[in-house]
Amino acid sequence: MPVHQLSRTDARRIAVRAQLLDADRPSDLLEVVRHLTVLQNDPTAHVAPSADLVLWSRIGPSYVADELVSAIDNQLLIELHMLLRPREDLRLHTAEMAAWPGPGELTPWQQDIEAWLEANEECRTDIIERLRMDGPLPIRELPDTTVVPWRSSGWTDDKNVSKMVDHMVACGDIACSGREGRERLWDLAERVYPDDEPVPYDEAVRQRDERRLRALGIARSTATATPNEPNHVGRAGEEAVVDGVRGRWRVDSQQLDRLGERFRGRAAVLSPLDRLVYDRKRMTELFEFDYQLEMYKPVGKRRWGYWAMPVLYDDRLVGKVDATADRDRGVLQVDAIHRDGRWSKAMVMAVDREVRDLARWLGLELDDQRDLV
């Protein structure tokens, strides 16, 4: 099969279309999540929770946040590793849970985790029994009967129960059954996950790669590891090169077929955790966009703001909106709109309209004391 030659414009349009961010807006929440495959369930609500921002940026003003709550409550969407996934997709993960801590020969790190769990088997059993009797429960109500404390080189020292829960989720003992405010609730996995036959491990990996590529449109065969959900797509799709970018890419064949269609873009204000920008290396290579999430930086070192939201216009990332939802005052306070390069009058109007739509969707007045920089 020939290697496809793509311009950066081609690659960007493939990525934007695949992420449902072109002018053809979807309307069904579940269909959007099924296509995107994952929705990060981060509770940060500086403007709105990331999952809501992702859905609003696709569906638009008709998106109702209560619909997401209902889908979670009815277990149409299930949280696994901080990511909401369609219920039917869990069968692509249960074989991996059964093979935990990993298929084949274990790495030294996997051996250490296995040994730690074996040493604390009583605690694992106590948590299962507590949940069987009283679940679902928040993590603060789970017993810590570990005999060997968790040790790490970083901030997870002495986080015995939270690390035990992480590993029990990974091996399929327990699952997140929902949230109470910002706090996750835990229950036995058998009460949360559908009773579907697992897809065999190798086939599940292949299908997940294919679905991830369909959601991303274009991605690397291998990529730097990230928590919870990979950015790589293995051998899915077809091989391509992108003008001005080193190395080979994998591209979804359906998106290749659409390159002959007229591209219809629009303006969109994105969550900092949006999959279009989540893989920062891919974002830089294809969109040539300078961006970092700065919420963990000291105030004096921030260039764009605590929760600065990337701005998409047509097939380019063109700036950042630094905003805060001040619910006590009833306003969406926009402190700055950072422009990357010159904006046309049409771009200014389209982005301004999107920011106003965001304020209306949040039920807030727009604070118009903004600096354009």
316-365 pLDDT tens trace = 999 999 999 999 999 999 999 999 999 999 999 999 999 999 999 999 99
- Mean pLDDT check: name the lowest of 60-69, 147-156, 187-196: 147-156
The confidence band for 18, taking pLDDT boundaries of 50, 70 and 90, is very high
The answer to the question of residue 187 being in a domain is no
Residues 163 and 207 in one domain: no
The answer to the question of residue 96 being in a domain is no
Q: What is the pLDDT of residue 182?
A: 85
The confidence band for 151, taking pLDDT boundaries of 50, 70 and 90, is confident
Interstrand relation of 39-40 and 174-180 (parallel, antiparallel or unpaired):
unpaired
The confidence band for 367, taking pLDDT boundaries of 50, 70 and 90, is confident
Residues 162 and 122 in one domain: yes
**Does residue 144 register a pLDDT over 80?**
yes
Q: What would the mean pLDDT of 24-46 be, rounded to a whole number?
A: 96
Residues 237 and 286 in one domain: no
Share of residues in the chain with pLDDT > 90 (%): 90
Burial (0-12, 13-18, 19+ Cβ within 10 Å), 24: exposed
The confidence band for 228, taking pLDDT boundaries of 50, 70 and 90, is confident
The confidence band for 372, taking pLDDT boundaries of 50, 70 and 90, is very low
Chosen domain end from 235, 260, 285: 260
Residues 202 and 279 in one domain: no
Residues 239 and 367 in one domain: no
Contacts of 271 (CB under 8 A, 6+ apart): 50, 53, 54, 57, 309
Residues 223 and 292 in one domain: no
Q: What is the pLDDT of residue 158?
A: 55
Q: How many domains does the chain have?
A: 3
> Alpha carbon of 95 to those of 92, 196, 255, 269, 280: distances in Å?
7, 11, 30, 37, 30
31: containing domain: 4-88+198-260
Type of residue numbered 171: C
Q: What is the pLDDT of residue 224?
A: 86
Q: Is 267 helix (H, G, I), strand (E, B) or coil?
A: strand
The answer to the question of residue 177 being in a domain is no
Residues 155 and 213 in one domain: no
The confidence band for 373, taking pLDDT boundaries of 50, 70 and 90, is very low
Residues 83 and 116 in one domain: no
The answer to the question of residue 243 being in a domain is yes
**Does residue 371 register a pLDDT over 60?**
no
Residues 252 and 283 in one domain: no
